Protein backbone atom coordinates (compact mmCIF):
# COMPACT_ATOMS: atom_id res chain seq x y z
CA UNK A 1 0.00 0.00 0.00
CA UNK A 2 2.86 2.39 0.83
CA UNK A 3 5.23 1.09 -1.84
CA UNK A 4 6.05 4.63 -3.01
CA UNK A 5 8.10 5.06 0.18
CA UNK A 6 10.62 2.59 -1.24
CA UNK A 7 14.00 4.23 -1.82
CA UNK A 8 12.87 7.46 -0.11
CA UNK A 9 15.15 8.77 2.62
CA UNK A 10 13.30 9.38 5.88
CA UNK A 11 14.74 10.96 9.02
CA UNK A 12 13.11 9.72 12.22
CA UNK A 13 14.01 11.87 15.20
CA UNK A 14 13.61 10.11 18.51
CA UNK A 15 14.06 6.97 16.45
CA UNK A 16 15.36 4.89 19.35
CA UNK A 17 12.22 5.58 21.37
CA UNK A 18 9.00 3.60 21.49
CA UNK A 19 7.11 5.14 18.57
CA UNK A 20 10.22 6.14 16.65
CA UNK A 21 11.76 2.67 16.62
CA UNK A 22 8.50 1.13 15.44
CA UNK A 23 8.42 3.67 12.61
CA UNK A 24 12.02 2.84 11.69
CA UNK A 25 11.21 -0.87 11.55
CA UNK A 26 8.13 -0.36 9.39
CA UNK A 27 9.98 1.96 7.00
CA UNK A 28 12.82 -0.51 6.53
CA UNK A 29 10.31 -3.24 5.70
CA UNK A 30 8.97 -1.01 2.93
CA UNK A 31 12.45 -0.53 1.48
CA UNK A 32 12.95 3.07 2.62
CA UNK A 33 16.32 4.47 3.64
CA UNK A 34 16.07 5.35 7.32
CA UNK A 35 18.19 7.83 9.24
CA UNK A 36 17.57 7.62 12.97
CA UNK A 37 18.52 10.53 15.23
CA UNK A 38 18.34 10.17 19.00
CA UNK A 39 20.28 11.43 22.02
CA UNK A 40 19.31 8.29 23.99
CA UNK A 41 17.95 10.29 26.93
CA UNK A 42 14.66 8.36 26.83
CA UNK A 43 15.32 6.09 23.84
CA UNK A 44 17.30 2.85 23.97
CA UNK A 45 19.85 1.20 21.73
CA UNK A 46 18.13 -2.15 22.20
CA UNK A 47 15.11 -0.75 20.33
CA UNK A 48 17.17 -0.24 17.17
CA UNK A 49 19.82 -2.92 17.64
CA UNK A 50 18.18 -5.26 15.06
CA UNK A 51 18.63 -2.57 12.39
CA UNK A 52 22.19 -1.41 13.05
CA UNK A 53 23.70 -3.58 10.33
CA UNK A 54 20.87 -3.01 7.84
CA UNK A 55 22.18 -1.48 4.62
CA UNK A 56 19.39 1.13 4.61
CA UNK A 57 19.73 2.19 8.25
CA UNK A 58 21.90 4.92 9.74
CA UNK A 59 22.03 5.92 13.40
CA UNK A 60 23.08 9.39 14.50
CA UNK A 61 23.50 10.01 18.21
CA UNK A 62 22.68 13.69 18.52
CA UNK A 63 20.43 16.15 20.33
CA UNK A 64 17.76 18.26 18.62
CA UNK A 65 18.80 21.14 20.87
CA UNK A 66 21.91 21.42 18.69
CA UNK A 67 21.04 23.17 15.43
CA UNK A 68 24.17 21.99 13.59
CA UNK A 69 23.28 18.37 14.33
CA UNK A 70 19.75 18.95 13.03
CA UNK A 71 21.12 20.47 9.83
CA UNK A 72 23.45 17.50 9.27
CA UNK A 73 20.67 14.99 9.97
CA UNK A 74 18.38 16.64 7.40
CA UNK A 75 20.92 16.59 4.57
CA UNK A 76 19.49 14.88 1.45
CA UNK A 77 16.37 13.76 3.33
CA UNK A 78 13.01 13.50 1.59
CA UNK A 79 10.80 13.39 4.68
CA UNK A 80 11.09 13.98 8.42
CA UNK A 81 9.06 12.06 11.00
CA UNK A 82 9.74 14.13 14.10
CA UNK A 83 9.10 12.03 17.20
CA UNK A 84 11.81 13.44 19.47
CA UNK A 85 10.33 15.06 22.55
CA UNK A 86 10.39 14.93 26.33
CA UNK A 87 7.06 13.31 27.10
CA UNK A 88 4.92 13.04 30.24
CA UNK A 89 2.66 15.61 31.85
CA UNK A 90 4.03 14.97 35.40
CA UNK A 91 7.63 15.32 34.21
CA UNK A 92 6.82 18.67 32.61
CA UNK A 93 5.32 19.89 35.87
CA UNK A 94 8.43 18.78 37.75
CA UNK A 95 10.84 20.20 35.17
CA UNK A 96 9.18 22.69 32.82
CA UNK A 97 12.46 24.25 31.66
CA UNK A 98 13.94 21.08 30.16
CA UNK A 99 10.58 20.18 28.65
CA UNK A 100 10.47 23.56 26.94
CA UNK A 101 14.09 23.38 25.74
CA UNK A 102 13.54 20.04 24.02
CA UNK A 103 9.94 20.32 22.90
CA UNK A 104 9.99 23.95 21.74
CA UNK A 105 13.59 25.03 21.05
CA UNK A 106 14.50 21.57 19.72
CA UNK A 107 11.37 21.51 17.58
CA UNK A 108 12.20 24.93 16.15
CA UNK A 109 15.73 23.74 15.32
CA UNK A 110 14.26 20.84 13.37
CA UNK A 111 11.88 23.10 11.45
CA UNK A 112 14.74 25.43 10.52
CA UNK A 113 16.91 22.50 9.42
CA UNK A 114 14.09 20.96 7.40
CA UNK A 115 13.48 24.31 5.69
CA UNK A 116 17.16 24.88 4.95
CA UNK A 117 17.67 21.37 3.54
CA UNK A 118 14.51 21.49 1.39
CA UNK A 119 12.71 18.61 3.10
CA UNK A 120 9.51 17.81 1.23
CA UNK A 121 7.30 16.99 4.23
CA UNK A 122 7.74 17.46 7.96
CA UNK A 123 5.40 15.24 9.98
CA UNK A 124 5.52 15.67 13.74
CA UNK A 125 4.13 14.09 16.87
CA UNK A 126 1.53 16.44 18.30
CA UNK A 127 -0.50 15.50 21.37
CA UNK A 128 -4.04 15.04 22.61
CA UNK A 129 -2.95 17.04 25.68
CA UNK A 130 -3.49 20.12 23.50
CA UNK A 131 -7.24 19.77 24.13
CA UNK A 132 -6.61 20.87 27.71
CA UNK A 133 -9.69 21.66 29.80
CA UNK A 134 -12.16 21.25 26.93
CA UNK A 135 -14.89 18.86 28.05
CA UNK A 136 -16.38 18.26 24.60
CA UNK A 137 -16.40 14.66 23.40
CA UNK A 138 -15.30 13.47 20.97
CA UNK A 139 -12.36 15.83 20.55
CA UNK A 140 -12.36 17.66 17.22
CA UNK A 141 -9.18 19.22 15.86
CA UNK A 142 -10.46 22.80 15.71
CA UNK A 143 -12.01 22.84 19.19
CA UNK A 144 -9.34 23.00 21.90
CA UNK A 145 -9.36 24.32 25.44
CA UNK A 146 -6.74 25.82 27.75
CA UNK A 147 -3.64 23.63 28.24
CA UNK A 148 -3.33 22.07 31.69
CA UNK A 149 0.42 21.42 31.85
CA UNK A 150 3.75 22.73 30.55
CA UNK A 151 3.94 19.67 28.28
CA UNK A 152 0.58 20.53 26.71
CA UNK A 153 1.71 24.12 26.12
CA UNK A 154 4.86 22.95 24.33
CA UNK A 155 2.92 20.65 22.02
CA UNK A 156 0.48 23.43 21.14
CA UNK A 157 3.37 25.79 20.44
CA UNK A 158 4.70 23.15 18.01
CA UNK A 159 1.47 23.41 16.02
CA UNK A 160 1.72 27.21 15.90
CA UNK A 161 5.33 27.11 14.73
CA UNK A 162 4.54 24.49 12.08
CA UNK A 163 1.77 26.67 10.69
CA UNK A 164 4.06 29.68 10.49
CA UNK A 165 6.74 27.68 8.67
CA UNK A 166 4.19 26.83 6.00
CA UNK A 167 2.94 30.38 5.56
CA UNK A 168 6.39 32.00 5.80
CA UNK A 169 8.69 29.41 4.21
CA UNK A 170 6.36 27.03 2.34
CA UNK A 171 7.48 24.02 4.38
CA UNK A 172 4.77 21.35 4.25
CA UNK A 173 3.98 20.19 7.76
CA UNK A 174 1.43 17.86 9.33
CA UNK A 175 0.81 17.39 13.05
CA UNK A 176 -0.53 14.11 14.39
CA UNK A 177 -2.21 14.44 17.78
CA UNK A 178 -1.42 11.08 19.33
CA UNK A 179 -3.93 9.64 21.79
CA UNK A 180 -2.38 7.33 24.43
CA UNK A 181 -0.29 5.16 22.15
CA UNK A 182 0.69 1.66 23.32
CA UNK A 183 2.42 -1.41 21.92
CA UNK A 184 5.72 -3.24 21.61
CA UNK A 185 8.95 -1.54 22.71
CA UNK A 186 7.15 0.71 25.19
CA UNK A 187 9.25 1.09 28.33
CA UNK A 188 7.50 -0.03 31.56
CA UNK A 189 10.14 1.37 33.90
CA UNK A 190 10.78 4.73 35.47
CA UNK A 191 8.70 7.35 37.20
CA UNK A 192 7.09 8.50 33.97
CA UNK A 193 6.21 5.16 32.39
CA UNK A 194 2.97 5.03 30.40
CA UNK A 195 0.03 3.41 32.14
CA UNK A 196 -0.35 0.23 30.05
CA UNK A 197 3.20 -1.16 30.26
CA UNK A 198 3.38 -0.01 33.87
CA UNK A 199 0.22 -1.93 34.79
CA UNK A 200 1.42 -4.95 32.81
CA UNK A 201 4.69 -5.30 34.67
CA UNK A 202 2.91 -4.79 38.00
CA UNK A 203 0.40 -7.52 37.19
CA UNK A 204 3.09 -9.91 35.95
CA UNK A 205 4.82 -9.42 39.32
CA UNK A 206 1.49 -9.87 41.18
CA UNK A 207 1.64 -6.28 42.40
CA UNK A 208 -1.51 -4.19 42.70
CA UNK A 209 -1.76 -1.61 39.89
CA UNK A 210 -2.44 1.87 41.22
CA UNK A 211 -5.29 3.60 39.40
CA UNK A 212 -5.29 7.39 39.57
CA UNK A 213 -8.79 8.46 40.59
CA UNK A 214 -11.85 6.24 40.95
CA UNK A 215 -11.23 4.26 37.76
CA UNK A 216 -13.81 6.11 35.67
CA UNK A 217 -11.28 8.30 33.84
CA UNK A 218 -11.17 7.23 30.20
CA UNK A 219 -8.71 7.37 27.31
CA UNK A 220 -8.70 6.66 23.58
CA UNK A 221 -5.94 4.03 23.84
CA UNK A 222 -4.35 3.68 20.40
CA UNK A 223 -2.33 0.69 19.21
CA UNK A 224 1.04 1.47 17.62
CA UNK A 225 0.07 0.06 14.20
CA UNK A 226 -2.60 2.75 13.86
CA UNK A 227 0.03 5.42 14.50
CA UNK A 228 2.37 3.95 11.89
CA UNK A 229 -0.50 3.87 9.43
CA UNK A 230 -1.32 7.55 9.99
CA UNK A 231 2.30 8.62 9.53
CA UNK A 232 2.57 6.70 6.27
CA UNK A 233 -0.76 8.02 4.96
CA UNK A 234 0.52 11.56 5.47
CA UNK A 235 3.85 10.80 3.77
CA UNK A 236 2.20 9.24 0.71
CA UNK A 237 -0.94 11.31 0.19
CA UNK A 238 -1.14 13.08 -3.17
CA UNK A 239 -3.80 15.47 -1.90
CA UNK A 240 -2.59 19.02 -1.30
CA UNK A 241 -5.66 19.57 0.87
CA UNK A 242 -4.47 16.84 3.24
CA UNK A 243 -1.18 18.62 3.96
CA UNK A 244 -0.57 21.41 6.48
CA UNK A 245 -3.24 20.02 8.76
CA UNK A 246 -3.61 18.69 12.29
CA UNK A 247 -5.08 15.19 12.67
CA UNK A 248 -6.24 13.19 15.63
CA UNK A 249 -4.40 9.88 15.60
CA UNK A 250 -6.57 7.45 17.49
CA UNK A 251 -9.27 4.81 17.32
CA UNK A 252 -12.24 7.06 18.05
CA UNK A 253 -13.39 5.21 21.17
CA UNK A 254 -12.63 5.36 24.88
CA UNK A 255 -11.87 2.90 27.64
CA UNK A 256 -11.96 3.57 31.37
CA UNK A 257 -8.95 2.75 33.53
CA UNK A 258 -10.86 0.04 35.38
CA UNK A 259 -11.89 -1.51 32.05
CA UNK A 260 -8.22 -1.40 31.05
CA UNK A 261 -7.16 -3.28 34.18
CA UNK A 262 -9.86 -5.92 33.66
CA UNK A 263 -8.79 -6.46 30.04
CA UNK A 264 -5.14 -6.73 31.03
CA UNK A 265 -5.99 -9.31 33.67
CA UNK A 266 -8.00 -11.29 31.13
CA UNK A 267 -5.22 -11.44 28.55
CA UNK A 268 -2.36 -11.93 31.03
CA UNK A 269 -4.10 -14.63 33.04
CA UNK A 270 -3.90 -17.01 30.08
CA UNK A 271 -0.15 -17.08 30.82
CA UNK A 272 -0.48 -16.95 34.61
CA UNK A 273 -3.95 -17.65 36.11
CA UNK A 274 -2.97 -16.04 39.42
CA UNK A 275 -2.96 -12.62 37.75
CA UNK A 276 -6.78 -12.69 37.57
CA UNK A 277 -6.88 -12.42 41.37
CA UNK A 278 -4.55 -9.42 41.74
CA UNK A 279 -6.54 -6.52 43.21
CA UNK A 280 -6.11 -2.99 41.97
CA UNK A 281 -5.85 -0.04 44.37
CA UNK A 282 -6.88 3.58 43.90
CA UNK A 283 -4.90 6.77 44.39
CA UNK A 284 -5.48 10.49 43.83
CA UNK A 285 -5.94 12.00 40.40
CA UNK A 286 -2.69 13.28 38.87
CA UNK A 287 -2.13 17.01 38.55
CA UNK A 288 -2.66 18.12 34.94
CA UNK A 289 -4.68 15.06 33.92
CA UNK A 290 -7.99 15.39 32.11
CA UNK A 291 -10.90 13.10 33.07
CA UNK A 292 -11.87 11.85 29.62
CA UNK A 293 -10.30 11.71 26.20
CA UNK A 294 -11.87 10.45 22.98
CA UNK A 295 -10.93 11.49 19.47
CA UNK A 296 -13.05 12.24 16.48
CA UNK A 297 -11.23 10.65 13.55
CA UNK A 298 -13.65 12.06 10.95
CA UNK A 299 -11.09 14.48 9.53
CA UNK A 300 -8.47 11.75 8.98
CA UNK A 301 -11.11 9.50 7.44
CA UNK A 302 -12.19 12.25 5.04
CA UNK A 303 -8.81 13.66 3.99
CA UNK A 304 -6.52 10.64 4.36
CA UNK A 305 -8.92 7.72 3.97
CA UNK A 306 -7.76 6.55 7.39
CA UNK A 307 -9.22 3.46 8.97
CA UNK A 308 -7.75 2.04 12.20
CA UNK A 309 -6.25 -1.40 11.68
CA UNK A 310 -6.78 -2.30 15.36
CA UNK A 311 -9.41 -1.42 17.91
CA UNK A 312 -8.45 -1.25 21.58
CA UNK A 313 -9.06 -4.91 22.44
CA UNK A 314 -7.30 -6.41 19.40
CA UNK A 315 -4.36 -4.07 19.87
CA UNK A 316 -4.14 -4.83 23.58
CA UNK A 317 -4.19 -8.56 22.97
CA UNK A 318 -1.26 -8.25 20.55
CA UNK A 319 0.59 -5.96 22.92
CA UNK A 320 0.11 -8.24 25.93
CA UNK A 321 1.59 -11.17 24.03
CA UNK A 322 4.70 -9.08 23.33
CA UNK A 323 4.83 -7.67 26.87
CA UNK A 324 4.67 -11.15 28.38
CA UNK A 325 7.57 -12.42 26.31
CA UNK A 326 9.59 -9.30 27.07
CA UNK A 327 8.82 -8.68 30.74
CA UNK A 328 8.08 -12.09 32.29
CA UNK A 329 11.65 -12.61 33.45
How many angstroms from the chain centroid is the CA of residue 200?
19
Catalytic residue among 124, 131, 151, 306: 151
Q: Is 247 known to be catalytic?
A: no
Residues with Cβ within 8 Å of residue 234, at least 6 apart in sequence: 121, 123, 174, 176, 242, 243, 247, 304
Q: How far apart are CA 184 and CA 24, in angstroms?
A: 13
Q: Which H or E element spans position 152?
A: helix 150-169
Q: How far apart are CA 225 and CA 19, in angstroms?
A: 10
Whose CA is closest to 178, among 104, 254, 230, 236?
230
End-to-end CA distance of the chain: 38
Q: How far apart are CA 183 and CA 196, in angstroms?
A: 9
Q: How many CB atoms lie within 10 A of CB 3?
A: 8
Strand blocks (E) in the chain: 9-13, 33-38, 57-61, 79-82, 121-127, 173-178, 181-182, 210-212, 218-219, 222-223, 246-249, 255-256, 281-283
Q: How far apart are CA 107 and CA 301, in angstroms?
A: 27
DSSP structure class, residue 105:
I
Query: Which residues does the annotation mark as catalytic?
Result: 151
Amino acid sequence: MFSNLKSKTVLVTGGAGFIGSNLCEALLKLGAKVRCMDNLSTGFMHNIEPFLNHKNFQFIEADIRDLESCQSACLQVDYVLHQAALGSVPRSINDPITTNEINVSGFLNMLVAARDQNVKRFVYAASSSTYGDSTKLPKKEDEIGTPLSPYAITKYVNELYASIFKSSFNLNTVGLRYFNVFGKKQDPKGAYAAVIPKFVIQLINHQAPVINGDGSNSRDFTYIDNVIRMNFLVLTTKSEAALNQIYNTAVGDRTTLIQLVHSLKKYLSKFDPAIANVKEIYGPNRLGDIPHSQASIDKAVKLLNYKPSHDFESGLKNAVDWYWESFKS
